[in-house]
Structure 1
Amino acid sequence: MSIKFRLIVMNFLEFFVWGAWLISLGGYMFNVLHFNGVQVGSIYGTMGIASIFTPALFGIVADRWLNAERVLGLCHFIGAGMLIWASTLHDYGTFYVAMLLNSFFFMPTIALNNTVSYIILERKHLSVIKDFPPIRVWGTVGFVCAMWLVDLTGCSLSPLQLYISAGAGVILAIYAFTMPPCAPVPNTKRSFASSLGLDAFTLFRRRKMLIFFIYAMLLGFALQISNAFASGFLNDFARDARYADSFGVRHSVLLISISQISETLFILTIPFFLRRFGIKQVMIMSIFAWVFRFGLFGIGNPGSGLPFLVLSMIVYGMAFDFFNISGSLFVEREADIKIRASAQGLFMLMTNGFGAWIGTYISGRVVDYFTTDGVKDWHSIWLTFAAYALALGITFPLVFRYKHDPTAATPAFQH
């Protein structure tokens, strides 16, 4: 069995675990557990809280003490247990604790999955820039397969979605322990900061990396907006008799899955765009894709405006991949080999941690501001978010100093 195929399986399972509940859990909490909007938002916010702490923490463990593939496996074992526990709960407080604990152990696996993939590819003398995106695309396929499985089997309003996720998590945990060993890099002379795994934070000393991480956080905000409100936005059309029986309302999860299908296509273009344009231009493309993502939502509806919604789903692939996947590759190339897992954890900290946490709070305030007597003015909400992304797109090229040389030996990145 080729190593590429083994990594494909690992990436497929990694995102299958997440896709089985990320989009559909909100409907289950609203309609079955009868949680209110603040409670649902806070449970989704557990991913942001966890990402502030545990990706960097477990990255340190993988850099200093324990093989990265073993850390990945242990996290999935424990995370699966938390999901099984959550599936038995009906009160908000305990459910919140279970999902928070699951987030503590699941969120680090996203960065660890990348780290294991990068290490194995390099040890097999393969190109991370060229060979990883076609492998990572299968992660998105796994996410979509999980979404479709949950929707088409009628589990989107059932705790069975958590069992599906937990089952895949256990399989991945066992599988991770069979992967080639990704041992910590030996380092006999360590400072106090090095012993604590804080070396990755030295990346902030470099102006280029500091600005990159700040904008990564701000784009993490944009991603949280999309995750938190896309499904609720579509479900709100059920209040309008013109759209209540439309496909976009009845199968909102399937409609949203077009976004993930789009990801599979754009991931495959990343090697070309990074080699041809470099990280700065790729990030600019991502930011303006977010402008279109939100703007198209603002003018779309499940009826005559359905093409705008579909276009928004399609452009999401560029918005997400050109920021998330390309950003991870950029951090991998810029970080020293001894802090590669910690650096990936730091990237997660800024995007899915601080970015998601701040995004949950501020975007919720924006939605409340444009809500009158329980009715949300989604047109104004989405155009406000589009204006935010536009401001990022205007300022980023002015402050991020980077010169791309497409003729260099490692053309996607220049130090």
Structure 2
Amino acid sequence: MNFSTKFRLSLMMFMEFFVWGSWYVTMGTFLGTNLAASDGDISLAFATQSFGAIIAPFVVGLIADRYFQAQRILGVIHLVGAWLMYRMYESGEFSEFFPFLLVYMILFMPTLALVNSISFNQMTNPAKEFSIVRVWGTIGWIAAGILISAFSWDSPEGLAEGLLRNTWLMTSIVSLAMGLYSMTLPETPPKSKREGEFRLSRALGLDALAMLKDRNYTIFFISSILICIPLAFYYQNASPFLTEIGVKNSTGKMALGQVSEVLFMLALPIFFYRFGLKKTLIVAMLAWASRYVLFALGDADSGLWMLMGGILLHGVCYDFFFVSGQIYTDSHAGQEFKSSAQGLITLATYGLGMLIGFWAAGQISDYYLNPAGLHDWKSIWLVPAGISVLVLLFFISFFKREKEPSHQ
């Protein structure tokens, strides 16, 4: 892959995740402060990600990616997304805002697969080339968070003036640029021309259900779904939590979690091959429990270091569980189920697991809301900490040590 192609794909990844990071991190805070949304409303808004993850295989696998070039689908989705984002920017209440968000996420979630498809189609050695391109997506997410805090949209003064609404306008503009830019990307033929006959069961990952006959993989599969419940608490509650307790530049500070993600992504192969799958997953689940305990005990003053520690653990939490889990799934699936297996685990975690998690986070947050409109955050964060410990104990008890992958 030459430098020009690598640059174009890297810019695509940067813009794709800049678009997502521009609104996703602060949406809970925006809905609470600008639209007076309840915790139940906020959990419903975040659940649109799960709805999108469940419907995405139909949008890409069944319709779009079978008949149209991937880069053109990507462009059209982002152009429509720009209009939807502008409508959300103009919305004055949650009932008006939510339908636009739901349609947007159903359209947006498939783009995560499309940018990968476009990238892989240009690579001769994806194992070595993809990470160099994909890391720019994480940098785009980080840049969005830093920019929001640099503009002080998430500051107490900015929130009082309703400036956080500008995140939707910024996303609309960048999404428009992304839509136009996508049309210039390298051609990626429809899968129907590359992979032969289409089967819905393969697109949805249902072929890989045969893998669940293996006891160890079933334990891992169940653990993956369950660990997404505490994961949803972080995505949904972290920004409102930091904002409510008075942490300055909270969005910029949360972007450090993605910096951590980049660093631990580099450390993962060494740790994975040195200590094996089981220990890697155990460390990840311990990190989940530890992060939420730190959130429960920390504050915006002398306990700020605890909050920062919890944020910086994001790389361990995410990379050591989900990325190593993808590696495990790929090696366990064999050639027959490689594509289906990744589709199945994504559908189960980002679809089912996080859907349950967002609902639970909304119920717990609403339960610990006092009449003054403030949350008992210590009690809220101890719930996902406890769930993480229970998932850890389940995994340790039933997952048996197995032969580790080759170092080659």
TM-score range, shorter chain: 0.7 to 0.9
Instruction: Note if 1:395 corresponds to 2:386.
Output: no
Alignment equivalent of 1:95, drawn from 97, 118, 126: 97
* CA distance in structure 2 between the partners assigned to 1:19 and 1:38 by the alignment: 22
Which position in structure 1 is the counterpart of 2:131?
133
Unaligned runs of 5+ in 1: 239-247, 410-415
Secondary structure in structure 2 of the residue aligned to 1:405 = coil
Q: How does 1:381-392 map to 2 (within 5 A)?
A: 381-392=380-391
Tell me if the contact between 1:297 and 1:308 (Cα under 8 Å) persists in the aligned partners: yes
Partner residue in 1 for 2:142:
144
Residue aligning to 2:255 = 257
Match runs of 1:258-407 below 5 Å:
258-331=256-329, 343-373=341-371, 374-400=373-399, 403-407=402-406
Identical counterparts, % of pairs? 30
Contact 2:57-2:203 within 8 A present in 1 as well: no
What CA distance in whole angstroms lies between the structure 2 residues aligned with 1:107 and 1:311?
30
Contact 2:281 2:321 in 1 (8 A): yes
Q: 1: distance between equivalents of 2:297 and 2:98?
A: 35
**Residues 368/40 of structure 1: CA separation in 2 closer, same or farther (3 Å cut):** closer
Cα gap change, 1:270/1:131 in structure 2, threshold over 3 Å: closer, same or farther?
Answer: farther
Which residue type is aligned with residue 377 of structure 1? Answer: D
> What's the counterpart of residue 28 of structure 2?
26
Residue matched to 1:168:
174
CA 1:197–1:76: 2 relative to 1, 3 Å: farther
Distance (Å, rounded) in 2 between the aligned partners of 1:70 and 1:328: 28
- Report deviation, 1:278: 4.6
The corresponding residue for 2:223 is 215
The 10-residue stretch of structure 1 (211-220 or 61-70) with the greater mean CA deviation from structure 2: 61-70
Code of the residue aligned with 1:227 in structure 2: it is Y
Deviation digits for residues 68-116 of structure 1, max 9, x if unmatched?
Answer: 4444333323222211221122132221000111111112222333344
How many residues are treated as equivalent by the alignment? 392
Equivalents in 2 of 1:333, 1:77: separation in Å? 38
Partner of 2:15: 13
Q: CA deviation at 1:326?
A: 3.6
Q: Distance in 2 between matches of 1:380 and 1:11?
A: 38
Q: 1:59, 1:344 within 8 Å by CA — same for their partners in 2? A: no
Per the alignment, do residues 236 and 408 of structure 1 end up closer, same or farther by CA in structure 2, a change over 3 Å counting?
A: closer
Whichever residue aligns with residue 299 of structure 1, its letter is L
Q: Is the 8 A contact 1:137 1:268 kept in 2?
A: no
Letter in 1 for 2:172: A
Partner of 1:200: 205
> Does the 8 A contact of 2:15 with 2:174 survive in 1?
yes
TM-score calculated relative to the size of structure 2: 0.84
Task: State the alpha-carbon separation in 2 of the partners of residues 75 and 39 from structure 1.
Answer: 25
State the 1:371 CA deviation.
4.0
AA matched with 1:5: F
Compare 374-383 and 324-333 and name the one that shifted more: 324-333
Maintained 8 Å contact 1:221/1:351: no
Aligned-residue RMSD, C-alpha: 3.0
For 1:197 and 1:62, the matched residues in 2 are separated by 16
The separation in 2 between residues aligned to 1:276 and 1:10, in whole angstroms, is 34
Q: Is the 8 A contact 2:39 2:366 kept in 1?
A: no
**Shift of residue 287 of structure 1?**
1.6
**Gapped runs of 5+ residues in structure 2?**
155-162
Contact between 2:229 and 2:353, CA under 8 Å: does it hold in 1?
A: yes
Q: 3-state DSSP class of the match of 2:23?
A: coil
Structure 1 counterpart SS, 2:37: coil
Deviation at 1:279, TM superposition (A): 4.2
